[in-house]
Structure 1
Amino acid sequence: MHHPEDPKHPEIEKALARQADETLRGLSRRDFLKIAGAAGLVSATGVQAAPARAAVSSQARIVVLGGGAAGMTMAARLRDLLDGARITIVEPSEIHHYQPGWTLVAAGVYSVGEVQRRNERYIPRGVEWVRSAVAAIDPESQRVETTDGDRLDYDFLVVATGLHLDYEAIEGLRREDIGRPGLTSLYASAEAARDAYEQIHAFGEHGGVARFTIPSTPIKCAGAPIKATFIADDLLRTAGQRAGADFHYHTGSDTLFSVQRFDHMVRDLYAERGVSVNDGGALLAVDVDARQAQFQTRDGGRETVDYDYLHVTPPMRAHDFVREAGLAVEDGPLAAGGWLAVDDRTLQHTDYPNIFGAGDVVATAIGKTASTVRSHGAVMPDNLVDVIQDREPSRQFDGYTSCPLITEVGKAALVEFDYSLEEVPTFAFLDQGAPSWMWWRLKVHMIKPLYFNMLRGRYLR
């Protein structure tokens, strides 16, 4: 069995070489040069940089809650935009997790170490780091309390705390159960993604029923449950073990992907590869010992089914302190998740003008991806600086998000869209929706350096 920390995988490399040869034979030299130039542009610049503007002198106290992708990016951009401001990041973890790479860990392409770096490398110069978690926010007194008992006063607050993976909302399931025989989840950690890789190979040796789930709540990287299915399917095909496996994708939605063309593409590929779509409802309960899962049915009842391999995408919501502080959206379809109530264009809080949000925590209709953070980084910090200067926010977030949709190990489509749910392709001269080795290479080799530059406030969209 190939171990994911081993960078070599002969079957994958042969497949990549074959796909590259087949694709290149169908391209003219001119088209190939366009592709190569486009890929180089993505790697070098991320399409476009955030606009330069002179640093504004300010003594404002700015507290950034969260040191993940959003928090680190916003702090770095604010540091560049302001001269004299006191900026503080509140983040308990010493390790930064490159979560867009977890699917590649599950594919056996990245090792766990390749998606982890120390946070100290990315704390912006001159920014204070409080190594603690958020306990409470008091927007009236403009104060944050940490779990270590610190009290931080602020003039402006950036909430970039990500989201809570609510495994416990599924009856009988605890987060620590992930990794037990037959039970996996790419979302839990990089180590859990590696475990999913190992478990799918173990499953393939005996065969049986594999089930992949997606909840009814908003989730980060909404394409990841689909990627998990395609990756597992392809790994078994490569190993010659797919014939003994019965694949099911469980969803309570009428659509598999929010952009219509890609919904059709996923459905067609599922049909072609023998993945049954069970659209009755979400996962309600798991009996880990008996390897049984219970799903909601269309009539509101429950159906219990067996599994040999279960990939769980948990329900997701904002952390409790957002709602407890009175900062959560109270009406509409997003109210149940306690998401941060912001204007979906300016990312300014709807009730507190000195509070802004970024990343997964915000109550926007779409966009819980790292690519969305890049767009937030070109909008939110500039708008906060506008408010510091007693101006109205001048920049607008258009809902941009991107998903390199892996369809097999070695191929992906590149999905880009905005609030309109219409495609907004970066490379209009190419069909980004056709699965290709090129978008796979972009995912594997180019997005990661772009991401870590984003953390330094560079190459924002």
Structure 2
Amino acid sequence: MTDRNKAGSSKAPLVLRDGLSRRDFLKLTGGLTAAAAVGSAPAAAQAGVQTRARIVVLGGGAAGLTVAARLRDLLDGARITVVEPSETHHYQPGWTLVAAGTYSVSDVTARNEHYIPRGVDWKKDYVAAVDPESQVVETAGGDRLDYDFLVVATGIHLDYEAIEGLERADIGQNGLTSIYAGPEQARHAYEQTQRLGEQGGVARFTIPNTPIKCAGAPIKATLIAEDLLRTAGHRDRVDFHYHVREGALFSVERFDGMVRDIYGERGVGIESGSVLQGVEPELRRATFVDGDGNRETVDYDYLHVVPPMRAHDWVREAGLAVEDGSLAEGGWLAVDDQTLQHARYPNVFGAGDVVDTAIGKTASTVRAHGSVTPDNLVSVLQDREPQQRFDGYTSCPLITEVGKAALVEFDYTLEEVPTFGFIDQGQPSWMWWRLKVHMIKPLYYNMLRGRYLR
């Protein structure tokens, strides 16, 4: 890490609101980090419930592993199976830091075998189909898994191919970038940003007209790239454009205004009502469509693509998807937005990005789901009503430049719910950058073990 990326390098003393000094803040958050590194025992209020239930967890990402670990701690005698084809676990909250040149690819990859809970079976395969009536999961390899309870935690399908002329394999070439595509592609984004600064040109950043995970990431990608070029002395060589669907840039009004102000100060043009429709990679041309269906084709030298996102096809084919409303097109898993129990099948629960909740497709949301979903499943297993409630909590360390961020936390009301009430979390600061770089990661990996759940 270069000196400019080291958090807290200023020598001047800093006193925060209500008299909290830099040293006090570091002691507070440093203690949090130390506790996360050591870990803690999970809550034992319902631990040891005796059962022979067969529980299948679909997905071995952040949500699937967290739920499986929590269920393993709550139940005694259950047969829990995780269906997950990948042997590699990706720390996705770190991909923006790879694009900033702060993390390496190895910093955001791990082995899934290290996080599959002891005593939980691991089926290394893809989900092919689910029959919720007969309570059977079929895998791509032809296995049939009977279940008494099902947890759907398979995340999101990144539909790059829904953009005309684009294939996922194009990302990382000809000026095409996407921090959503993976850690290697995030590294390519960093490298292509350096190249853009040397050569100059037009940079375009996009957001689709579908729900997306980590909705602040497109903003982070824009501001990180702009800051890297500004620091390198190449900012005047590049014209920045942010193409956005109609409406707010950020769902919380205060931060929508903040982002618009920062874009204005840094010369990032906001192209409202402009959704990416097609790409000609070899020609470096992109076609955008407005709300009336009018198309416009423009040139680019650097294009950051956020693909349309939806649930995997089998969710709809199984009859588990929401059937009406604004989220029906994406085939999202239909759940009660507070209990996360399926709307039609009481022995099915959801967790993570796949659910049809109005907001909250972030790792911080998974922490909340990681207690709500397993605890409510255990309640139903005991013939009790689900007691735990998800309030829509989500968090976004909104990076405004390399070395500074704001910490945004809110719920279904779209009102702020700050963890550190004695500090203005919305003011970009080195503190929240330090939190993002050094403290969230150990908490995340403890979350995978069922610890530190909200």
Shared fold (TM-score greater than 0.5)? yes
CA displacement at 1:29 relative to structure 2:
6.8
Q: Secondary structure at the match of 1:24?
A: coil
Q: What is residue 118 of structure 2 aligned with on the other side?
A: 125
Supply the AA of the counterpart residue of 1:368. Answer: K
Unaligned runs of 5+ in 1: 1-7
Q: What's 1:244 paired with?
A: 237
Structure 1 partner of 2:251: 258
The answer as to 2:171 corresponding to 1:178 is yes
CA distance in 2, matches of 1:372, 1:314: 21
Query: Per-residue displacement from partner, 1:204-250 (whole Å, max 9, x unpaired)?
Result: 10111000001110000000000000000010011100011000000
Deviation at 1:42, TM superposition (A): 3.8
Letter in 2 for 1:363: D
CA contact (8 A) 2:16 2:423 kept: no
Cα 1:26–1:385, aligned 2, differ >3 Å: closer, same or farther? closer
Shift of 1:35: 1.8
| CA–CA distance in structure 1, aligned partners of residues 371 and 32 of structure 2 | 17
**Change in 2 beyond 3 A, CA 1:32/1:137:** same
Q: Which aligned pairs between 1:36-185 and structure 2 lie closer than 5 A?
A: 36-44=26-34, 51-53=43-45, 54-185=47-178
Partner of 1:4: none
Q: Summarize deviations over 1:390-422 as a string: whole Å, max 9, x none.
A: 010010000000000000000000000000000
Give, as a single letter, the amino acid of the residue that structure 2 aligns with 1:418: D
Contact 1:65 1:91 in 2 (8 A): yes
Match of 2:347 in 1: 354
Matches within 5 A, 1:265-276: 265-276=258-269
Q: Where does 1:199-214 land on structure 2 (aligned, <5 Å)?
A: 199-214=192-207
1:21 aligns with 2:11: yes
Gaps of 5+ in 2: none
SS in 1 for 2:11: helix
Moved more, 111-120 or 32-41: 32-41
Alignment partners' CA distance in 2, 1:203 and 1:34: 41
**1:55-105 CA distances to partner (integer Å, 9 max, x unpaired)?**
200000000000000000000000000000000000000000000000000
Whether the 8 Å CA contact 2:4–2:403 is kept in 1: the answer is: no
Say whether 1:32 aligns with 2:22. Answer: yes
Secondary structure in structure 2 of the residue aligned to 1:179: coil
Tell which deviates more after alignment, 403-412 or 298-307.
298-307
Shift of 1:289: 0.8
Task: Give the paired residue count.
Answer: 451
Q: Taking structure 2 as the reference length, what is the TM-score of the superposition?
A: 0.96
Structure 2 counterpart of 1:419: 412
Pairwise CA distance, 1:387: 0.4
CA separation in 2, counterparts of 1:298 and 1:319?
26
Measured in 2, the distance between the counterparts of 1:82 and 1:107 equals 42
What secondary structure sits across from 2:21 in the alignment?
A: helix
Is structure 2 residue 296 aligned with structure 1 residue 306? no
Counterparts of 1:189 and 1:231 in 2: how far apart (Å)? Answer: 17
Moved more, 64-73 or 250-259: 250-259
Task: Tell me how far 1:27 sits from its aligned partner.
Answer: 7.7
Q: Report how far residue 9 of structure 1 moved.
A: 1.9
Q: How far is 1:52 from its partner? A: 2.8
Matched, 1:295 2:285: no
* 1:370 corresponds to which of 347, 358, 363: 363
Alignment equivalent of 1:190, drawn from 164, 183, 195: 183
What RMSD in Å do the two structures reach over aligned CA positions? 1.7
CA apart distance, 1:25: 6.7
Note if 1:225 corresponds to 2:221. no
Q: Tell me which residue corresponds to 1:316.
A: 309
TM-score by length of 1: 0.95
Residue in 1 that maps onto 2:431: 438
Give the CA deviation at 1:12.
3.1
